[in-house]
Chain A
């Protein structure tokens, strides 16, 4: 990518991050404690690197860390997004974290607990009354969306497992998969012992002639 386009993109991202962070007053002291630290994000593919430098309770977005980042998180763009968004509860398996694990974990926490005061921002442009009403409707819409999403998933899961029997229910699947495991382990042990026995016999000098 052309350096100008890349830098313009970084500038836009930086402004967006800092604008959103500024809408939650609780974020400033948390950012301040990482002052001077750098968090690298490596998107693999396409092999794009972003470095977030924490400075003066703000985030600066740079194109490269020059190996100076305190922590580096590597993963696909989707995995990174999942890793950093509120939906993620634990580090995903397709994410690699090296360096300062605490910084990464605290940064995830910051993003997950971020509560931007959109209403205050909106009030500056539209006035208190309209902003409050818009905020109330947005929150209602958001709650409805979340609830619909959960219900839809539950109904779909019930349909494919219980009604259409396209997929087995989780408990049944686990039982079927786990049931033959002890027997398989036992057979493997026996096989291993048999191999060892054969190896020992091969190493012994022949006494037959």
Chain B
């Protein structure tokens, strides 16, 4: 049976198609946007409301073994926020209870993302050996299409290829790894630094400091994997978490990393955490965003810090150790064989803490000094800078200067002297710019041609917001959310919870890789080469870039 729907009379913000606030109907047929549907199709009255494509989260931590270790660490958060199952209309979906906090259970995460109008989410850091765990969690995360980025850049086989100058083999290996694990993109976390942490070198602090175990530098890792992603025509370029996250003065290594990849397509993530002046604490946002503004091959997401509870979850083991020592909070470290690591420390970001106030200001500066919203994506690095549930509050900070200034007055000013935010940034984001940084931009940067817009052929992922002078309120309670043509949120209530699609790629590679890789597995891996690939990933990889 053909399912049709017409969203009538809403004010449409569809920047990918050049539509900025025009009143028009959006028509849906069988899960896709179409130019028109026959008269008599069911309708949604969106008159006076704002219509956008479903939100696209380019960088979250919601479905991974690391997230699950964080969940297990936080029973106190879960006890404080039990979640009953939603009242769904259709018998097709089993409504599930769960628990919230900074790292909610999977079903609750899916419901809450949909409740914000987000319909596509990527987990940004999955150790390939743990990929089958992420697939299982994503299967239990309804309402959103999802995928994950595979961690590379501290993996033994790759480091060996780089050390040997075998960059083509490194590329083939990256392709094999993506296809074998059902991943979507290449993610680098602290290039070389995790291996340094595991081997006793503790960390790498500069782009040309080499790993004593392999003689490989972060620069070589960045170049190899950036080239691999581009040569493999991956829809999303290499996704980079730079060295020295969270350290004063790290703006230098961040800029050097961007310069190292000059001319190559690359995405730098949670850049707020990498934009600190030094040697004391100061804002380094201006030089970073200026570099991004003038280099169209680069994109970033911000990783905004929001005041309130957070949980830091990262493969960047050394930074979590430092956070544990400085905060005194409980700490998890898990070294993951031959590939990566995992560190977890819960945190509370207080506006009265000077460094936190600076982090908050730096994130906003990155947004407000950006000249091309298509390359600057909204993120909090959920749950590292704050929960994804704080996105509406962040949108309000960007759109409403009075709210922003009020928050700034309450924040500790000690380290803000000389920052652009303290000097007064008057910019207020428009609805169209919000549509870019929350859906159109990330969809384009991810190479998702059917996401982030409302043109014919796009996936029917649509969010309808009732206007509200309180911007945070408006974006936290969409009136309608449609996912793949299914009316997920109706009159502000979650009503349906369809399973999402898995977003993954399967690039080709030279089979000559395999005998060498098998020898390596036989020598060092505790999982058989034959058992390593994830079974059951749907046979529907997304197309590579043209």
Partners in one complex: no
